[in-house]
């Protein structure tokens, strides 16, 4: 069998709802790696958080790569080195921050190691608890920061408010960046050429693995690019209907019940 590249989203896919990994999934991943296949995380999380999960849950083998920031970063875990970085001009980020202030929405951007925001809100504490990364709060942000890889708006209670923001934000950012919901609570803006799918193809080139030998598994809108570009695109059964329609196959069990293990045993080993 040809060497496969298995690309896994984190939240809602590899991780359970309580942010752990089931024993069956861990054992299946280890078995796939022992058989000579590659397993890679592709997350919307910041680099420091995605890197910690990769080192905690995946076998540490040569040529281990990681996708963070929804494809904005392709990272070499062995050499502790960013291989590809896609960024947004800080002037665009400034416009999104100002628009968020107009709409009364919480907004944040990132360095590799921190969340950067203007105001401390409940959404910030929830995000920091989820990802385990520190934050920095300054009224002048995003002024003075390097071009970031993404911007995130969060509203934990009112998805429709984010939909309204997206309508105006998309008009403002037309032809300049992409937007999508990574969860109903999170609206993200990223560079035009940034996606998990494009980062997956870049990883294939570096690893010498054919596109048709890739398997991508995810559950949210930010996973669609890799699900559509992979040799086999898999949606978790806990995905919404739009994601399920775009996948080649659907797991029989959800992220809390060994969905990853099922796909590995059926298609990888």
pTM of the model: 0.93
Residue 188 clears pLDDT 90, i.e. is over it? yes
pLDDT in tens, 227-268: 999 999 999 999 999 999 999 999 999 999 999 999 999 999
CA dihedral sign of residues 137, 143, 146, 148: positive
pLDDT in tens, 112-122: 889 999 999 99
As a whole number of angstroms, the distance between CA 23 and CA 64 comes to 21
Question: What residue ranges define each of the domains in the chain, with the CATH number in brackets?
Answer: 5-85+194-268 (3.40.50.1000), 90-191 (3.30.1240.10)
Res 100: pLDDT = 97
Res 113: pLDDT = 86
């Amino acid at each position: 069998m040809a060497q496969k590249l298995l690309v896994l989203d984190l939240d809602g896919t590899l991780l359970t709802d309580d942010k752990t990994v089931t024993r069956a999934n861990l054992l299946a991943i280890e078995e796939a790696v022992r058989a000579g296949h590659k397993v890679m995380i592709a997350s919307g999380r910041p680099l420091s958080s995605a890197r910690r999960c990769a080192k905690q849950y995946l076998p540490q083998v040569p040529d281990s790569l990681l996708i963070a920031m929804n494809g904005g970063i392709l990272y070499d875990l062995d050499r502790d080195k960013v291989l590809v970085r896609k960024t947004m001009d800080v002037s665009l980020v400034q416009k999104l921050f100002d628009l968020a202030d107009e709409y009364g929405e919480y907004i944040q951007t990132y360095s590799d190691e921190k969340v950067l925001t203007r105001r401390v809100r409940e959404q910030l504490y929830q995000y920091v608890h989820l990802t385990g990364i520190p934050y920095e709060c300054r009224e002048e942000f995003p002024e003075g920061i390097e071009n970031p890889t993404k911007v995130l708006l969060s509203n934990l209670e009112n998805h429709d408010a984010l939909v309204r923001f997206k309508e105006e934000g998309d008009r403002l950012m037309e032809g300049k960046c992409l937007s999508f919901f990574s969860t109903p609570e999170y609206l993200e803006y990223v560079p035009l050429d940034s996606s998990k799918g494009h980062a997956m193809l870049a990883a294939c080139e570096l690893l010498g693995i054919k596109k048709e030998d890739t398997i991508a598994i995810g559950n949210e809108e930010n996973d669609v690019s890799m699900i559509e570009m992979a040799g086999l695109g898999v949606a978790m059964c806990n995905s919404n209907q739009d994601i399920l329609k775009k996948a080649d196959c659907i797991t029989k069990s959800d992220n809390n019940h060994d969905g990853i293990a099922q796909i590995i045993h059926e298609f990888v080993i």
